[in-house]
């Protein structure tokens, strides 16, 4: 109940600010689209200078693959940022103290806050993916159920991870730069994530699966770009649901793991922060 | 704990550790690689606040006022002792207690500036579990009560500092909590805004029976609105009394005797019970200021003896008054930052300067 109440309040607040600053909202979206499109077109036009692994991007399909990874990366970057830089900004503005003093609890407040921001991110990102895909003549297979399921799992995976960093920021206000490095890392992973992860040495493979966006990006690309079509032993393309894809199970495990670890870590840190006297303060 | 208090601190202790690297040591002047310092924000602090009472918490910077407020609101956990709100332990029932406490911490930063005051109140109301029509009606009532009704649809960033402060108070009141904690509510405000906020604090306490804790540096605010005052210094509560009792604390110690001329120092030396004498010329009237012992018997002996010496010297007595204490004087005396009888100028030391 409390969660939905806070979510409603956050939605109203976000909507009012978007509407009140409509020019900033629209120009932000146009600039985002233009930058991304120029980036993709730039890579396509200069295939000799980019690495061999992405040379075949002249194909619209692969360019979309790359752009999709970029957008998932941006999404992840944004969510982790809400828990790191976002928390610091809230502390600076004094709003964090009020959130900490809300009877719903800080975890519920933050969860609702990220859900609302993520919904608005997903909507704008979906629009951008579609526009980019149209612009470079790529194709997207928007299968509703798997797409929504995967986005929800990716989201909860990321917020679990974000909560862990958010907890650190609650106690140590100077983790901002480290958090930025982590955000950049999380941003880069979806761009490079592919099924070739399985060919990595065992330790690297475990590390790659433990990162919250690797399997999420593989699954989303599999649904949206490959249309859930896999090549069988006979070399034929056959439909194989994403729900049977190994990365989907890694994503599920990852999701449970990071949500439990992240929220537990955040609560512990919140508690420690109260003892240290830094809760809500900048 | 006593059930007559809505807020009670039961021997609360809080210390903060700060770690310093490569800093110069204050004692030796040498640079040290690592030093851990402990700052005591609350040492055995114990007081209670009744419903319908305004309690003022005064203290110099870093004395532990804000920490005390934060401990009551659950933002800081005490190392020892228990804080009770409405008979519930803050430690055990923190989320429950947050429904009963409204806090203004450095108010102007609380509100969301792109939103209007009404939108701010609706947003924070939801966060504090107030919903629907009740919330909107309460928000409008509060804006009217505080005097922001005309500006309820103007973005907060366009409001003045005083108006933002008023809005912060409304935010603290939106869930209608019985306990209000105001951390320096009038700091940085002009006289009119400060007056207005003081009136509103009195109004909500007297009319709505709220229990209010105010921390402030402004002695006039404290003297004017507080029923009881606690003075905190270096984390220790050094006084906690009703305001009028606090004002009486030192008033019996200093007497001003107006004369036709000032006597030489030697004439008044060695009077039993007199701790110090000082000579002033106030508005052209020679005045003798006498500090006497804080003891009823010694006090009258000292005064009789002083007047007897003056009579023998044929000085014309133009009046004797007891120096009225202000809260500021009491505060300075208690926190040892004002000249006391002991630290006041000794006989003859600065008499000329003072007379000038």
Q: For A31-75, what is each residue's pLDDT tens digit? A: 877 877 776 676 666 655 554 544 454 454 566 667 777 778 887
**Of the partner residues A16, A98, A277, the one whose CB lies closest to the CB of residue B110:** A98
Q: What phi and psi, each to the nearest 5 degrees, are found at residue B56? A: -100, 135
Quick: pLDDT tens for B305-315. Answer: 999 999 998 99
Distances (CA, A) of A218 to A149, A208, A212, A254, B119: 14, 11, 11, 14, 42
Per-residue pLDDT tens over the stretch B198-241: 888 898 888 888 899 999 887 888 888 999 999 998 899 988 98
Backbone angles phi, psi at B44, to 5 degrees: 55, 45
In the predicted structure, residue A122 carries a pLDDT above the cut 50: yes
From chain A, the residues in CB contact with B109 under 8 A are 93-95
Q: How many Cβ atoms from other residues are within 10 Å of residue B318's Cβ?
A: 12
- Looking at B34-38, B47-51, B144-148, B333-337, which range is the least confident one? B333-337
Rounded mean pLDDT of A123-132?
76
CB within 8 Å: A103 and B96: yes
Assess B227–A contact: CB distance below 8 Å, yes or no.
no
**Residue A120: predicted pLDDT:** 81
Q: How many angstroms separate the CA of residue B95 from the nearest CA in chain A?
A: 5
Nearest to B200 by CA among B338, B104, B315, B109: B104
Q: Do B126 and A21 touch (CB under 8 A)?
A: no
Confidence band of B252 (pLDDT split at 50, 70, 90): low
The dihedral through the CA atoms of B121, B126, B131, B132 has a sign that is positive
| CA-closest candidate to residue A183, choices A80, A265, A262, A87 | A80
With cut-offs at 50, 70 and 90, classify the pLDDT of residue B339.
very low
Q: Is residue A179 predicted with pLDDT exceeding 80?
A: no
Total Cβ atoms within 10 A of residue A22: 10
Confidence of residue A139 (pLDDT cuts 50, 70, 90): low
Task: Decide: helix, strand or coil at residue A126.
Answer: helix
Between A46 and B99, whose confidence is greater? B99
Report the mean per-residue pLDDT for chain B. Answer: 84
Beta strands in chain B (DSSP E): 7-24, 31-49, 54-58, 80-85, 88-89, 101-105, 179-183, 211-216, 228-233, 236-242, 254-259, 274-282, 285-292, 317-322
Give me the pLDDT at residue A49, please: 56
How close is the nearest chain B Cα to the Cα of A273, in Å?
8
Is residue A137 exposed (0-12), middle (13-18) or buried (19+ Cβ within 10 Å)? exposed
| Residues facing residue B8 across a β-bridge | B48, B84
Q: Is A277 helix (H, G, I), strand (E, B) or coil?
A: coil
Residue whose entry in the numeric block shows the structure tokens 């009703």 = B242
| C-alpha span between A212 and A195 (Å, rounded) | 15
Can you tell me the distance from the alpha carbon of B139 to that of B144, in angstroms, rounded to the nearest whole number?
9
Which residues in chain B have their CB less than 8 angstroms from residue A9's CB? 122-123, 126-127
Which of B95, B103, B110 is facing A95, going by the closest CB pair?
Answer: B110
Give the predicted TM-score (pTM) of the model. Answer: 0.77
pLDDT given for residue B181 in this prediction: 94
Q: A180 to chain B nearest CA, in Å?
A: 24
Spatial contact of A263 and A108, defined as CB atoms under 8 Å apart: no
Model confidence at B345: pLDDT above 70? no
Task: Count the helix, strand and coil residues of chain A and give each as a percent rounded to the nearest 5.
Answer: 80, 0, 20
Between CA B253 and CA B249 the distance in angstroms is: 9
């Amino acid at each position: 109940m409390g969660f939905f109440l806070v979510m409603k309040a956050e939605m109203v607040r976000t909507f009012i600010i978007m509407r009140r600053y409509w020019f900033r909202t629209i120009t932000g979206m146009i600039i985002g689209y233009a930058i991304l499109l120029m980036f993709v077109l730039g890579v396509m036009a200069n295939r000799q200078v980019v690495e061999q692994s992405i040379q075949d991007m002249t194909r619209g399909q692969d360019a979309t693959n790359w752009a999709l990874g970029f957008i998932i990366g941006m999404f992840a970057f944004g969510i982790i940022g809400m828990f790191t830089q976002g928390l610091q900004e809230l502390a600076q503005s004094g709003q964090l103290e009020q959130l900490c003093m809300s009877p719903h609890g800080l975890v519920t407040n933050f969860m609702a806050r990220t859900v609302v921001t993520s919904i608005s991110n997903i909507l704008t990102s979906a629009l951008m993916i579609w526009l980019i895909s149209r612009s470079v003549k790529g194709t997207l297979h928007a299968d509703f159920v798997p797409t929504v399921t995967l986005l929800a799992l990716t989201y909860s995976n990321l917020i679990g991870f974000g909560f862990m960093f958010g907890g650190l920021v609650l106690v140590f206000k100077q983790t901002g730069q480290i958090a930025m490095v982590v955000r950049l890392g999380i941003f880069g992973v979806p761009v490079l994530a592919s099924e070739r992860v399985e060919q990595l040495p065992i330790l690297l493979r475990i590390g790659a699966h433990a990162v919250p966006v690797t399997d999420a990006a593989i699954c989303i690309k599999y649904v949206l770009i490959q249309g859930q079509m896999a090549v069988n032993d006979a070399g034929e393309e056959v439909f194989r649901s994403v729900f049977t894809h190994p990365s989907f199970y890694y994503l599920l495990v990852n999701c449970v793991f990071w949500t439990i670890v992240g929220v537990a870590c955040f609560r512990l840190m919140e508690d420690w922060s109260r003892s240290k006297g830094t809760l809500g303060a900048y | 704990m006593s059930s007559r208090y809505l807020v009670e601190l039961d021997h609360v202790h809080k210390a903060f550790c700060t770690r310093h690297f490569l800093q110069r040591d204050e004692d030796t002047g040498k640079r040290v690689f690592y030093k851990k310092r402990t700052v005591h924000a609350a040492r055995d602090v114990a007081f209670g606040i009744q419903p319908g009472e305004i309690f003022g918490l005064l203290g110099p910077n870093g004395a532990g006022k804000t920490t005390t407020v934060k401990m009551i609101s659950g933002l800081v956990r005490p190392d020892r002792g228990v804080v009770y709100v409405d008979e519930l332990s803050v430690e055990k029932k923190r989320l429950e207690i947050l429904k009963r406490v409204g806090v203004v911490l450095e108010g102007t930063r609380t509100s969301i500036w792109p939103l209007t005051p009404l939108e701010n109140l609706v947003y924070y109301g939801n966060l504090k579990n107030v919903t629907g029509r009740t919330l909107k009606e309460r928000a409008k009532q509060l804006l009217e009560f505080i005097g922001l009704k005309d500006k309820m649809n103007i973005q907060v960033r366009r409001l003045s500092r005083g108006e933002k402060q008023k809005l912060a108070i409304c935010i603290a009141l939106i869930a209608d909590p019985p306990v209000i904690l105001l951390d320096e509510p009038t700091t940085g405000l002009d006289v009119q805004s400060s007056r207005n906020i003081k009136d509103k604090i009195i109004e909500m306490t007297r009319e709505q029976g709220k229990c209010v804790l105010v921390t402030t540096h402004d002695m006039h605010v404290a003297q004017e609105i507080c029923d009881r005052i606690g003075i905190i210094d270096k984390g220790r509560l050094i006084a906690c009394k009703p305001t009028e009792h606090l004002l009486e604390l030192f008033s019996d110690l200093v007497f001003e005797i107006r004369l036709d001329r000032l006597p030489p120092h030697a004439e008044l030396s060695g009077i039993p019970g007199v701790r110090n004498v000082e000579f002033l010329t106030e508005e052209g009237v020679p005045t003798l200021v006498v500090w006497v012992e804080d003891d009823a018997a010694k006090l009258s002996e000292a005064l009789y003896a002083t007047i007897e010496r003056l009579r023998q010297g044929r000085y014309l007595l133009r009046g004797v008054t007891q120096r009225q204490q202000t809260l500021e004087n009491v505060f300075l005396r208690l926190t040892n930052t004002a000249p006391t009888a002991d630290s006041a100028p000794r006989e003859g030391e600065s008499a000329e300067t003072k007379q000038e």
